[in-house]
A = this chain, B = another copy of it.
Amino acid sequence: MTQNPTYLINGSFDQSISPFDRGFAYGDGVFRTLAVKAGQPIHWALHYQKLVEDCAAIGIVCPRAELLIDDIKLLFAPHAEEVMVAKIIITRGEGERGYAIPSISTPTRILIKSLLPSYADALYVEGVTLHLCETRLSVQPKLAGIKHLNRLENVIARSEWQDEMLFDGLLLDAQDHVIECTMSNIFTRFGDELLTPDLSQNGVAGITRQRILHLAKSLNLITKVQALPFTHLLKADEVLICNSLYGAFQVTRILDKIWTPQPLANQIRSLLVHD
């Protein structure tokens, strides 16, 4: 055990990743990123449910919640008062060379601790600017919605910009439909309708997106999940992005299109925190 451990592998401070781990060989696994406060994972029930579903979608049996909770308590105990970030990775475990899934394999579980990114005050007041990614998301219904370890598209898309004023990158598919951002889901408001793209063909269906879809009713908004052409997004009254770490931000600029700051993102963020 090192003095300031930042990760656990299968509950141990001393283990390492084998090069035979299929998470490493093929990206054969899934992950989640969540906030941990006072040693407690925030919105754990939803995160764990999504982790189980994503594992199941590629035929991995997710470790029991108790094991993961014990990991979190062990790794985050010294930071009981801070809000920190937990990344949980579950892989199919080790296997021989070849794509065939081993008849017997034990999933590998990794917990990584990191600092919460610091979000400038201006982001809450003035909103965020998005880069429009040239990289297009591919279509793969068998992996759509899953937060799996095959993330080269995100890496390539994220490499398109260095400007720190660009908070995230907007990802379209090859037909110019809006899908998501590299690390966020996206919502658009048209009047009293809150619309988020359908993620049945690609994208990652995050739990903050799911939570916003549920809490919209309390804001007298009607929710819609459907295809969203980029030209349609540009006509929205308001555009929001969300994830488990920052909650929600308003998008106030994409290319030359500018939206004036409005209160919805702050209202949603407040509901997300107190929900």
- Residues on A close to B: CB < 8 A? 7, 9, 16-28, 31, 33, 58-59, 85, 87, 89, 96-101, 110, 112, 114, 135-136, 138-140, 142-143, 148-159, 174, 182-183, 202
Inter-chain contacts of A85 with B (CB < 8 A) = 97
Asked if B158 and A101 sit within 8 Å, CB to CB, the answer is yes
Inter-chain contacts of A99 with B (CB < 8 A) = 151, 154-155, 157-158, 182-183
Q: Which of B16, B58, B112, B155 contacts A17 (CB 8 A)?
A: B16
Asked if B89 and A19 sit within 8 Å, CB to CB, the answer is yes
Inter-chain contacts of A87 with B (CB < 8 A) = 97
Stoichiometry, copies per complex:
2
Q: Which of B110, B151, B174, B202 contacts A150 (CB 8 A)?
A: B151
Inter-chain contacts of A58 with B (CB < 8 A) = 152, 155-156
Q: How far is the CA of A174 from the CA of B221 in the complex (A)?
A: 36
Minimal beta-carbon separation of A71 from chain B (angstroms): 13
Chain B, residue nearest A113 (CB): B97
Asked if B96 and A149 sit within 8 Å, CB to CB, the answer is no
Asked if A150 and B27 sit within 8 Å, CB to CB, the answer is yes
Asked if A26 and B135 sit within 8 Å, CB to CB, the answer is no
Inter-chain contacts of A89 with B (CB < 8 A) = 19, 24-25
- In the complex, given contacts A21-B24, A26-B154, A136-B140, what are 6 additional A-B residue pairs having Cβ atoms less than 8 angstroms apart? A19-B112, A28-B152, A58-B152, A98-B183, A99-B151, A100-B159
Asked if A7 and B26 sit within 8 Å, CB to CB, the answer is no
Chain B, residue nearest A23 (CB): B24
Q: How far is the CA of A26 from the CA of B30 in the complex (A)?
A: 10
Q: How far is the CA of A204 from the CA of B83 in the complex (A)?
A: 43
Minimal beta-carbon separation of A80 from chain B (angstroms): 21
Minimal beta-carbon separation of A180 from chain B (angstroms): 13
Can you list 5 contacts pairing A with B, beta carbon distance less than 8 Å?
A16-B17, A21-B24, A24-B24, A27-B150, A138-B138
Please list the 7 inter-chain residue pairs (A to B) with the smallest Cβ-Cβ separation, ordered nearest first. Answer: A16-B16, A27-B27, A138-B138, A150-B150, A99-B158, A17-B17, A26-B151
Inter-chain contacts of A59 with B (CB < 8 A) = 159
Asked if B98 and A149 sit within 8 Å, CB to CB, the answer is no
Inter-chain contacts of A182 with B (CB < 8 A) = 99
Asked if B25 and A149 sit within 8 Å, CB to CB, the answer is yes
Minimal beta-carbon separation of A163 from chain B (angstroms): 12
